[in-house]
């Protein structure tokens, strides 16, 4: 091809241009992605399939009519997830003694009458269990935490808005993010899928914006992480270590990484073995 024609072709975007996805390919990719993450916003899906939000909306309408997914405010969720691996009830049985120990130790860091944001993770739930005597104001998007204190006289409970995601026991979506953007709390008790020296990650991308809003709303950010999260990288980046004030973990956490985190100025509290038994 003559050089001048190559330049003209590039200018008009007709030379070696990548083929666009067909509508069927795009819908298949949307459905496959939702099978992995279970819930996604319109913006997230738009980036994933490299299509406009209006195009994604039309695809979601077709997929919902076929019974493959359920549209929600600002996004969509899969109707039939691949497994119950990430269900709250299933995850709460993992490292149960360690989570109890972490919950007790973290609760000791909360002062009476403080306002506390509680994340929807299972370890954060075990922190909430030990807070009633502190008479706190609890702000959460966790349905299990809300249920725990729905009739507790000592605790003022504030539940964020959002879309109910039953398997995770959590409220998600733009309304939940907006709710936390309007809150000012003393402490945020957070969870994550993994921690390395590069930062914290989570396995559910739908939670990232929500967790960041929680962290921005709090004066102090505490992450509660059992030993299995140390040295682990999950799918979605959450934040770097500069956003973390303290970490509470169990006695099985790797001493080398604990020392490296402390060297970066992070308070790392190791809950004594047996506290949760």
* pLDDT tens per residue across all 277 residues of the chain: 455 454 444 444 444 444 578 889 999 899 888 877 777 888 889 988 999 999 999 999 999 888 888 888 788 887 766 544 455 444 444 567 889 999 999 999 999 999 999 999 889 999 999 999 999 999 999 999 999 998 877 899 999 999 888 777 899 888 999 999 999 999 999 999 899 999 999 877 778 999 999 999 999 999 999 999 999 988 789 999 999 999 999 999 999 999 999 999 999 999 987 644 4
Residue extent(s) of CATH 3.40.50.1360 domains in the chain: 88-271
**Tell me, what's the pLDDT at 12?**
45
Domain 3-78 has CATH 3.40.50.1580: no
What is the per-residue pLDDT for 244? Answer: 97
End-to-end C-alpha distance for the chain, whole angstroms? 76
- At 25, is the secondary structure helix, strand, or coil? helix
Q: What is the reported pLDDT for 50? A: 92
Radius of gyration of the chain (CA): 22
3-state DSSP assignment of residue 122: helix
Tell me the CA distances in angstroms from 70 to 66, 108, 192, one per residue in order: 10, 41, 26
Q: Tokens for 135?
A: 């008479």
With a CB cutoff of 8 Å and minimum separation 6, the contacts of 73 are 163, 173, 174, 175
pLDDT of residue 72: 83
For the chain, give every residue range classified as CATH 1.10.10.10. Answer: 3-78
pTM for the complete prediction?
0.71
For the beta carbon of residue 54, count every other beta carbon within 10 angstroms: 10
14: left (phi over 0), alpha (psi -120 to 50) or beta: alpha
User: CA-CA distance, 219 to 102, in Å (whole number)?
Assistant: 21
CA pair distance 9, 23, nearest whole angstrom: 26
Question: What is the CATH class of 88-271?
Answer: alpha beta
CA separation, residue 254 to residues 16, 133, 179 (Å): 51, 32, 36
Helices (H) and strands (E) in the chain, counts: 11, 15
CA dist 145 and 129 (Å) reads: 8
Of residues 167, 170, 179, the one with CA closest to residue 145: 170
């Amino acid at each position: 091809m003559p050089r001048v024609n190559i330049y003209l072709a590039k200018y008009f975007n007709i030379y070696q241009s990548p083929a666009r996805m067909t509508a069927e390919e795009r819908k298949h990719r949307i459905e496959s992605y939702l099978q992995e993450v279970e819930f996604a916003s319109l913006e997230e899906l738009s980036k994933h399939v490299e299509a406009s939000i209006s195009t994604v909306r039309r695809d979601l309408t077709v997929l919902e009519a076929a019974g493959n997914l359920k549209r929600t405010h600002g996004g969509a969720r899969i109707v039939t997830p691949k497994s119950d691996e990430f269900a709250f009830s299933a995850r709460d049985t993992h490292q149960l003694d360690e989570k109890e120990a972490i919950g007790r130790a973290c609760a000791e860091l909360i002062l009476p009458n403080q306002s506390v944001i509680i994340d929807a993770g299972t370890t954060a739930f075990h922190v909430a269990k030990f807070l009633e005597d502190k008479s706190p104001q609890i702000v959460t998007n966790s349905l299990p935490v809300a249920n725990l204190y729905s009739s507790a006289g000592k605790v003022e409970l504030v539940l964020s808005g959002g879309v109910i995601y039953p398997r995770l026991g959590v409220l998600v979506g733009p309304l939940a993010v907006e709710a936390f953007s309007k809150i000012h709390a003393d402490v945020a008790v957070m969870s994550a899928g993994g921690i390395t020296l590069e930062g914290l990650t989570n396995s559910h991308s739908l939670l990232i914006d929500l967790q960041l809003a929680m962290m921005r709303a709090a004066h102090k950010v505490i992450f509660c992480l059992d030993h299995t999260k140390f040295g682990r990288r999950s799918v979605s980046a959450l934040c770097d270590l500069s956003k973390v004030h303290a970490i509470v973990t169990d006695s099985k956490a790797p001493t080398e990484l604990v020392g490296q985190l402390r060297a970066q100025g992070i308070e790392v509290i190791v809950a004594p073995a047996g506290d949760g038994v």
